[in-house]
Amino acid sequence: MLHNEYDRLRQFSHAKLIAVKGITTWNNTPVLLREYFEGQPLDQFLNTHSLTEHQSLHLAVAIVEAVQSIHDAGCIHTQS
């Protein structure tokens, strides 16, 4: 199953998406290797920063563009 996810994720190429680099094993568990991204999760960032309307709009557009690139690649994302 992880190999299917890897195959799907590696086709995405968008500046706003963190790239997948491969699959490895860590503590006897297969894991996806992803490009390093320095920062914090979006929810933590938003809990500690007040955004202007312009900044909020810019962030929303960036998220929509990233999700659109996933849709354009033929992938439908879901929460499981």
pLDDT, one tens digit per residue, over 30-44 is 999 999 989 999 999
59 class by beta-carbon count within 10 Å (0-12 exposed, 13-18 middle, 19+ buried):
middle
Q: What are 52's two structure tokens?
A: 């202007």
Report yes or no: 17 and 69 within 8 Å, Cβ to Cβ. Answer: yes
Q: Which residue has the tokens 């706003």?
A: 16
Report yes or no: 17 and 34 within 8 Å, Cβ to Cβ. Answer: no
Q: How far from chain centre, in Å, is Cα 67? A: 9
pLDDT, one tens digit per residue, over 44-67 is 999 999 999 999 999 999 999 988
Strand partners, 23: 32
